[in-house]
Amino acid sequence: MEYALRLGNAALPQAGFCAIWTLLTHAVFPNIWQFTPLKKFYQTQGREQKLDFNARVTAAIHATVVFTIALYNILAVDDFVYTDVYSTNSLARLCLQLSGGYFMSDIIICRQLKEYYPEATQYLIHHIISIGGISLALRDNAAIWFVCCRLLTELSTPSVNLRFIMILLKKEKTFLFVLNENFGYWAFVVSRPLLSPVFWYCTLTHWSNQLFWNLDPLLLGFWIITAGGLDALNIMWFKTITIGYYNEQIKPLMVRMGGKSVSSERKRG
């Protein structure tokens, strides 16, 4: 009973932030667009398209906020260290609460758009697992540094959502779209495949630490098994997006450069 109560207490602040994220998506943004150049575009969209548009803006804001807080904690807070499994501070806890609340809010979106999102079930599973891991970490004040490390993967999320928004706005041919494509790809590479060895190195330094093995087995399961599964998915996604990035960005650039080279040689001839 005490176990469940402590877990519930850890989830309460997340529920509060869930209400804030939900309010932004369903009430604040729909009204904001009426006073921007997006008004005409927004009014022509259907109910599901409007909700998806608002949800993507919320997702981008969440990702930017939690990435910034997590990075600040890891790089700038001296006593927030990976060498102590119980290392924590109020700002790091806030970061986890914000993120857990967002995942709760996005579960509502996934339910509302279950026919619109082909991947809705995958999102639901991911969010439920994330909320579970975050709640366990907050309940025990343990592994907070490592959850913050995983939240650095949010670096690429704003670019993903901005890409969909720009496609809706028919801005695929703009310089900003190309810039976002390039930033998004390299943000993914840096925050996922390249960050993964850092996470696992820091984890393995605790392999002979009894405090590590004394943690709640469920928390350890989330820490090791779930993180391993996500990294396996990241490797598969990395292969997929690299192929797409090459076909959509690198290959056309090489063709253009090849054309310019031939043109220059003709002029010299």
Q: Is the pLDDT of residue 66 over 80?
A: yes
CA distances 131 to 33, 159, 183, 246, Å, are: 30, 23, 28, 35
Q: Is the pLDDT of residue 266 over 60?
A: no
Average pLDDT, the chain: 91
H helix runs in the chain, sequence order: 2-23, 29-32, 39-43, 47-76, 90-112, 120-140, 144-151, 157-168, 175-191, 196-204, 210-213, 217-221, 227-245, 251-268
- Model pLDDT, residue 131: 93
Tokens of 28: 């604040």
Range of the domain at 20: 2-268
Q: Is the pLDDT of residue 262 over 50?
A: no
Tokens of 215: 């943690």
pLDDT, tens digit (0-9, with 9 covering 90-100), for 218-237? 999 999 998 998 888 888 88
Q: How confident is the model at residue 166 (pLDDT cuts 50, 70, 90)?
A: very high
Max CA distance (Å), the chain: 85
Closest CA to 14 of 127, 121, 111: 127
12/103 Cα distance (integer angstroms):
14
Q: Is the pLDDT of residue 261 over 70?
A: no
Q: Sign of torsion, CA 158 219 145 232?
A: negative
117 phi/psi in degrees, rounded to 5: -95, 110
Average pLDDT value for residue range 4-22? 91
- Model pLDDT, residue 258: 67
Q: Is the pLDDT of residue 64 over 60?
A: yes
Q: Is the pLDDT of residue 259 over 70?
A: no
Q: How confident is the model at residue 152 (pLDDT cuts 50, 70, 90)?
A: very high
Average pLDDT value for residue range 96-108? 97
Tokens of 21: 């994220």
For 107-121, 135-149, 194-208, which range has the lowest pLDDT when averaged over its residues?
107-121
- Model pLDDT, residue 252: 82
> Is the pTM here over 0.85, yes or no?
yes
DSSP state of 155: G
Q: How confident is the model at residue 267 (pLDDT cuts 50, 70, 90)?
A: low
Residue with tokens 């309460």: 12
47/44 Cα distance (integer angstroms):
10
11/30 Cα distance (integer angstroms):
28
Closest CA to 10 of 175, 102, 136: 136
The total number of structural domains in the chain stands at 1
Helix, coil or strand: residue 123 = helix
Q: Is the pLDDT of residue 260 over 60?
A: no
Q: Is the pLDDT of residue 153 over 50?
A: yes
Is 24 within 8 Å of 154 (Cβ atoms)? no
